[in-house]
Amino acid sequence: MELPAAIQGESLTRLLQGFGLGAVVAMGVGFGWGGWTLASTAADQTETETTAAVVAALAPICVKEFKADAQASVNMTALMEESSYKRDDMLEKAGWATFAGSDKPTPGVAKECAERLTET
């Protein structure tokens, strides 16, 4: 099958170059300004946002339970005396960041709980 004379030779070359350039421009615009993302990037963003949402939901419960404890004033004094980078470890060891249905602390909750407790 022969191609029509209008797209043979130099015209065909220009047509293919146009398609190639158009594809590159479309991808550049789509990924740069159009909001397109790769599946791996979307998965990373979802994981980050999910973790942040879980921490935001559970940290207030940690704070409330910490303050409602019979030893709250003693615990608060011990928390304030602890180094800032060790406070989350203290809360994890005491069980304040471990919730029903889990046998280990929820990641990030102890740190957020410690920050909320020490800012008040």
User: Per-residue b/e over 83-99, b at no fewer than 16 CB within 10 Å?
Assistant: eeeebbbbbbebebbbe
8 Å CB contact between 108 and 85: no
Q: What's the DSSP call for residue 84?
A: T
What is the four-CA torsion angle of 59, 64, 66, 70, rounded to 10 degrees? -170
Check residue 67 and give its pLDDT. Answer: 93
Spans of all domains in the chain: 48-119
- The string of pLDDT tens digits covering residues 17-43 is 889 999 999 999 999 999 899 999 999
**Structure tokens of 92?**
């994890």
Name the residue with tokens 């003693």: 74
The SS3 call for residue 43 is: helix
pTM of structure: 0.68
pLDDT in tens, 55-113: 999 999 999 999 999 999 999 999 999 998 899 999 999 998 999 888 999 999 999 99
**Per-residue pLDDT, 3:** 66
Q: Please, are residues 52 and 45 in contact by the beta-carbon 8 Å criterion?
A: no
